[in-house]
Amino acid sequence: MPRGPRTRTNLLEATLVVAARDGYARATTRAIAEQAGVSEATIYRHFPDKLALFGSAVMHANAQVDEWFAGLPARAGEASVGDNLRECLHRLAGVKAEAIPLELAMLLDPELARSREEHLVAGADLTGPPAQLEAYLAAERSLGRLRGDVDPRTATLALLATLFTAAIGAGPTVDDCVELLVHGMLPPE
Amino acid sequence: MPRGPRTRTNLLEATLVVAARDGYARATTRAIAEQAGVSEATIYRHFPDKLALFGSAVMHANAQVDEWFAGLPARAGEASVGDNLRECLHRLAGVKAEAIPLELAMLLDPELARSREEHLVAGADLTGPPAQLEAYLAAERSLGRLRGDVDPRTATLALLATLFTAAIGAGPTVDDCVELLVHGMLPPE
Amino acid sequence: MPRGPRTRTNLLEATLVVAARDGYARATTRAIAEQAGVSEATIYRHFPDKLALFGSAVMHANAQVDEWFAGLPARAGEASVGDNLRECLHRLAGVKAEAIPLELAMLLDPELARSREEHLVAGADLTGPPAQLEAYLAAERSLGRLRGDVDPRTATLALLATLFTAAIGAGPTVDDCVELLVHGMLPPE
Amino acid sequence: MPRGPRTRTNLLEATLVVAARDGYARATTRAIAEQAGVSEATIYRHFPDKLALFGSAVMHANAQVDEWFAGLPARAGEASVGDNLRECLHRLAGVKAEAIPLELAMLLDPELARSREEHLVAGADLTGPPAQLEAYLAAERSLGRLRGDVDPRTATLALLATLFTAAIGAGPTVDDCVELLVHGMLPPE
DNA sequence: CATGAATGAGTGTTCATTCAT
DNA sequence: TATGAATGAACACTCATTCAT
């Protein structure tokens, strides 16, 4: 890997590490540069400002699951809905474990509300994994494998919200919460 | 109301307003003092530091629903579980609307993790409304009005997680998300 | 003792205690009021400002030795010069032990240079104990009990300077330092 | 001289200038930065905090006389003791004139008592010029050029104490005070 | 006489960002 | 490409002081 892109990747991962370890408020340019082993000025060779760095870091983390989620809607009808959803959340919670704190912090910032694009939730249309998840749920519903009165958008958000419990380190795992939702979404046998 | 306590209350409510409007990061002592119509120094006559102010603000917001939640466990068996839970979340989402951003932001801060006491979720034992909610669910389960394999703690956290969707202003309401969970928790008819 | 003057005395002594214990920089109105067991506002019932409080505190401490020093010049010719000087410094170091830090700190402050009146050293004329000490030395010199080339003003300052060693807690006692000076001031036998 | 070190030196000298001119209490980071012609933030690129700046400033001033004092003990037996001591104090008073107010102020601060290392006086062992002066006096005493009952440590502190008279701008010069001490230390002819 | 409440001016310190090298 | 040096603006917090009660 050539030097330029490697430094860029270092910075993205350093951002995720610092935000997950020290919290959003302490994810300063200084801490990130130190974690990446470069100078602060180097950040600005690769990103126009701190916000762009954070946004890119979240996208970078998402990229690892994007591929799997891209194929998700096509799997409607396969296996069982419960297993599929469990795997969805499991992947999101596991692979993006370090990205969630940063993502939530950005989500909570009203000033950042406008630049939400590739993030967890968008105002009108979902994108990335959430969008694929919504599409998958819609497909399953039209196959009759989901209760008819379940709104795919609502279900998607409810499922994603369970990731929040992981971010704050509460006792039960994400899996436990998902279980409850799955029960509520499946059609009566 | 005498002058001292009134200023204190002003500050608590100004803190909630600013945090909800401008975000946690921009809830500076300056902005809060301005919102409250007092000087910054006045903050420090009423609270030892900013963290204590924030903690007190969250407690102040919680106090408004604490009374209602205190009577919640005793209502197990009355009305329907679904209606009760819907009212719970409705009250939390409605009355504490302005406190949620602050509460979540504090929850996400690893350095604040130790001083979590009267907040949304505590490591081992829940306190405040969440604790009452957990007790209520346990009571309903022993009445057979809840599926036996539902863990009250898990269900509590899953329900509270739906409040997150309100904080980020996503489309569906909290009520919609709660509906799904309720379906998953009720025993088969 | 009536209530007013007692509070005033409390404040003067609290000032000396706090300055000696915590240093000049931490001798704030808050700390002094707390030590005295009164409110900060009470300070301003008894003194126009903090500077006046500090000046009065030094005078208050000096007052305890003023009486003895007033009779010092008249004792020229009695006992031995060495014993007399030793007693002088012993009294200053002992009785004013807690006042020295405050006095030195005020002396070192250029802005306070103008308001020096009843303090350790004044630009032109000495006052208080230092003035009496200077007068005593002049009297001894005219009696031939001091070397003729010893300048009373210089000797006074040199003796007082040894108090500085006490303030910083250095090993040797003031007595040890005075001994050296006495040797240098006595006439050849 | 490259840019970095030059700024650092500027800051050290600005610190001495401001402390000598305005007093320790008014030697704020703002005033020092202005005197040095840089921004306040620049201070923190060169020193971790204000205390480190002040400590370094005192060391910087001492460095100018350290070299001369390093060779002092080896000069025992040369010239006359009186001339040697006069030169010692003359150098300390002259070259470090601007450092003395800062050094004394730090010495008087009880909270700084622990970080005293390269300063005027240390609890157990002297360092820097004072240490060399003590060693020199011990050497002269073993040569019989000092009275046998003079303790080198005590004599050192007594000599250094005379510098205090310079700091407060009292009339007589340091030289005058030293003269008295020298008389008291020399052996009878 | 005493104080609880309030504050304007200031403190040391940190931040994201720029720029000459 | 990368960085050491620098900074304006902002931060949480403290100070001596005032005033209505």
Residue type, position C188, single letter: P
CA–C1' D118–F6 (A):
30
Q: Compute CA A16 distance to the chain's CA centroid, rounded to the nearest angstrom.
A: 12
> pLDDT for A95-142, tens place per residue?
667 788 788 888 788 777 666 544 444 444 567 788 899 999 999 999
Q: Are A117 and A127 in contact (CB under 8 A)?
A: yes
SS (H, E, C) B45-111: HHCCCHHHHHHHHHHHHHHHHHHHHHCCHHHCCCCCHHHHHHHHHHHHHHHCCCCHHHHHHHHHCHH
Please give the pLDDT value at position D157. Answer: 85
Q: Are A65 and A95 in contact (CB under 8 A)?
A: yes
Residue D8 domain flag: no
In this complex, the answer to whether residue C38 has its CB under 7 A from any atom of chain E, a nucleic strand, is yes
**Residue among B104, B153, B177 whose CB faces A157 most closely:** B177
Residues C22 and C57 reside in one and the same domain: no
Contacts of D105 (CB under 8 A, 6+ apart): C105, C108, D19, D23, D24
Please give the pLDDT value at position D123. Answer: 45
**Residue among A110, A172, A182 whose CB faces B153 most closely:** A172
Q: Strand F: which positions are within 7 A of a protein CB?
A: 1-20
Residues 14-43 of D with CB under 8 A from C: 21-26
Residues A2 and A91 reside in one and the same domain: no
Residue D165 domain flag: yes
Query: Which residue reads 């009275």 in tokens?
Result: D147
In this complex, the answer to whether residue A30 has its CB under 7 A from any atom of chain E, a nucleic strand, is yes
Average pLDDT of chain B is 85
Interface test with D, best of C141, C174, C183 (most D CBs within 10 A): C183
Distance CA D184, CA D174 (A): 16
Please give the pLDDT value at position B120. Answer: 44
**Residue C121 in this model has a pLDDT that exceeds 50:** no
Report the pLDDT averaged over residues C112-133. 63
- Cβ contacts (< 8 Å) between A184 and chain B: which residues? 179-185
CA–C1' C59–F12 (A):
38
User: How close is the nearest chain D Cα to the Cα of C158, in Å?
Assistant: 5
SS (H, E, C) B125-158: CCCHHHHHHHHHHHHHHHCCCCCCCCCHHHHHHH
Q: Say yes or no for a CB contact (<8 Å) between B171 and A111.
A: no
Query: Residue C38 class from Cβ within 10 Å (0-12 exposed, 13-18 middle, 19+ buried)?
Result: middle
Task: Please report which helix (H) or strand (E) contains residue A152, including its range.
Answer: helix A152-161
Closest CA to C11 of C32, C25, C39: C32
Q: Which chain B residue lies closest to A20 (C-alpha atoms)?
A: B110
Residues C56 and C35 reside in one and the same domain: no
Taking the CA atoms of A71, B170, B103 and B183 in sequence, report the sign of the dihedral they define.
negative
Q: Say yes or no for a CB contact (<8 Å) between D169 and C123.
A: yes
Q: Say yes or no for a CB contact (<8 Å) between A171 and B157.
A: yes
Residue A7 belongs to a domain with what CATH number?
Answer: 1.10.10.60
**Residue C118 in this model has a pLDDT that exceeds 50:** no
**Residue B111 in this model has a pLDDT that exceeds 80:** no
CA–C1' D28–E11 (A):
8
Residues C158 and C72 reside in one and the same domain: yes
Contact of chains D and B by CB distance (3 or more pairs under 8 angstroms): no
Residue D116 domain flag: yes
Q: Are A177 and B157 in contact (CB under 8 A)?
A: yes
Contacts of D148 (CB under 8 A, 6+ apart): D141, D187
Please give the pLDDT value at position B179. Answer: 82
Residue nearest to nucleotide E2 (CA to C1'): C42
Query: Residue B101 class from Cβ within 10 Å (0-12 exposed, 13-18 middle, 19+ buried)?
Result: buried
- What's the domain count of chain C? 2
Residues C62 and C15 reside in one and the same domain: no
Q: Which chain A residue lies closest to B122 (C-alpha atoms)?
A: A170
**Residue B98 in this model has a pLDDT that exceeds 90:** no
Q: Are A24 and A105 in contact (CB under 8 A)?
A: yes
> pLDDT for A32-72, tens place per residue?
999 999 999 999 999 999 999 998 998 898 887 888 999 99
Residues 145-184 of B with CB under 8 A from A: 147, 150-151, 153-155, 157-158, 161-162, 164-165, 167-172, 176-177, 179-184
Question: Cβ–Cβ contacts within 10 Å for residue A59, how many?
Answer: 16
Report the pLDDT averaged over residues A67-83. 92
Give chains near B: 3+ CB pairs under 8 A. Answer: A
Report the pLDDT averaged over residues B78-83. 91
**Residue among C108, C111, C184 whose CB faces D180 most closely:** C184
Contacts of A101 (CB under 8 A, 6+ apart): A19, A20, A23, A24, A167, B108
Residues 90-109 of C with CB under 8 A from D: 101, 104-105, 107-109
Query: Which residue reads 């329900």 in tokens?
Result: B159
User: How close is the nearest chain A Cα to the Cα of B71, in Å?
Assistant: 25
Residues C99 and C180 reside in one and the same domain: yes
Confidence of residue C96 (pLDDT cuts 50, 70, 90): low
Residue C163 belongs to a domain with what CATH number?
Answer: 1.10.357.10
Q: What domain range includes position D127?
A: 50-185
Count Cα neighbours of A100 within 13 Å in the Cβ-side half-sphere: 20
Average pLDDT of chain C is 84
Residue D35 domain flag: no
User: How close is the nearest chain B Cα to the Cα of A6, in Å?
Assistant: 29
Distance CA C75, CA C58 (A): 26
User: How close is the nearest chain C Cα to the Cα of D1, in Å?
Assistant: 34
Percent of chain C whose predicted confidence (pLDDT) is above 70? 86
Please give the pLDDT value at position B122. Answer: 42
Residue D7 domain flag: no
Residues A55 and A110 reside in one and the same domain: yes
Of these ranges, A148-162, B4-18, C170-184, the one predicted with the greatest mean pLDDT is: B4-18
In this complex, the answer to whether residue D44 has its CB under 7 A from any atom of chain E, a nucleic strand, is yes
- Cβ contacts (< 8 Å) between D113 and chain C: which residues? 169
Please give the pLDDT value at position C10. Answer: 96
Q: Say yes or no for a CB contact (<8 Å) between B154 and A161.
A: no
Q: Say yes or no for a CB contact (<8 Å) between D179 and C184.
A: yes
> pLDDT for C39-90, tens place per residue?
999 999 999 999 999 989 988 888 878 889 999 999 999 999 989 998 998 8
Task: Please report which helix (H) or strand (E) contains residue C82, including its range.
Answer: helix C81-95
Q: Which chain B residue lies closest to A26 (C-alpha atoms)?
A: B109
- Cβ contacts (< 8 Å) between A170 and chain B: which residues? 121, 123, 157
Residues A88 and A152 reside in one and the same domain: yes
Please give the pLDDT value at position B164. Answer: 79
Residues C55 and C43 reside in one and the same domain: no
**Residue B116 in this model has a pLDDT that exceeds 60:** no
Q: For residue B121, what are the CA distances in angstroms to A56, A168, B50, D70?
A: 30, 8, 21, 65
Q: Say yes or no for a CB contact (<8 Å) between B169 and A25.
A: no
Report the pLDDT averaged over residues A9-37. 94
Residues C133 and C66 reside in one and the same domain: yes
Distance CA A30, CA A99 (A): 19
Residues A149 and A100 reside in one and the same domain: yes
**Residue A170 in this model has a pLDDT that exceeds 70:** no
Give buried/exposed letters for A117-156 (b at 16+ CB in 10 A, else e): eebbbbeeebebbbbbbbbbbbbbbeeebbeeebbbbbbb
> pLDDT for B117-144, tens place per residue?
444 444 445 677 888 999 999 999 999 9
Q: Which positions of chain D have pLDDT values less than 70?
A: 95-96, 113-126, 168-172, 188-189
Residues A147 and A172 reside in one and the same domain: yes
Please give the pLDDT value at position B141. Answer: 92
